[in-house]
């Protein structure tokens, strides 16, 4: 592993350059950093230390809110229009609520994986 630009590391870790520059200046020795500004380079030892210092975002299921457009032929699914997705997605309804009329209701949707969505029914129902 050779030297890497701090700007490339910021893109790799998906954080802003100012954030990674602040972390690097606080945690690394001056011998690990070379250059100025966006032309700052980090050596191999500095990269391993930065790996430990950069906070990792907790990735959980994404929640969306949308209006049910229509029911699908299979009663376990409904079509929900989600503005963030700019279209309708097929959402799985829990078996207990499969025969309920969901059309024109605003519901919460949980994205389990890529293109797999599930309806979140609150415990009030």
- Note whether 116 and 68 are same-domain residues: yes
114: tokens are 């890529």
- Note whether 18 and 67 are same-domain residues: no
Q: Does residue 116 belong to any structural domain of this protein?
A: yes
Q: What whole-number distance in Å separates Cα of residue 63 and Cα of residue 112?
A: 9
Question: How many domains, the chain?
Answer: 2
User: In this predicted model, what pLDDT tens digit does every residue of 12-56 receive, in sequence order?
Assistant: 988 899 999 999 999 999 889 999 988 999 999 999 999 888 877
Whole domain around residue 18: which residue ranges?
4-53
Q: Does residue 125 belong to any structural domain of this protein?
A: no
pTM to 2 decimal places: 0.55
User: In this predicted model, what pLDDT tens digit does every residue of 49-96 receive, in sequence order?
Assistant: 998 888 777 677 889 999 999 999 999 999 999 999 899 999 999 999
Confidence of residue 125 (pLDDT cuts 50, 70, 90): low
């Amino acid at each position: 592993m050779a030297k890497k630009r701090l700007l490339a590391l910021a893109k790799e870790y998906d954080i802003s350059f100012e954030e990674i520059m602040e972390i690097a200046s606080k945690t690394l020795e001056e011998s690990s950093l070379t250059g100025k500004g966006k032309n700052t380079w980090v050596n191999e030892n500095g990269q391993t230390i930065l790996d430990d210092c950069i906070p990792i975002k907790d990735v959980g299921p994404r929640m969306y809110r949308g209006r049910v457009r229509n029911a699908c032929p299979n009663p376990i699914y409904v079509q929900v229009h989600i503005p963030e997705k700019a279209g309708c997605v097929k959402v799985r309804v829990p078996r207990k609520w499969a025969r309920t009329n969901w059309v024109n209701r605003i519901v919460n949707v949980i994205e389990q994986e890529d293109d797999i969505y599930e309806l979140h029914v609150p415990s009030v129902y």
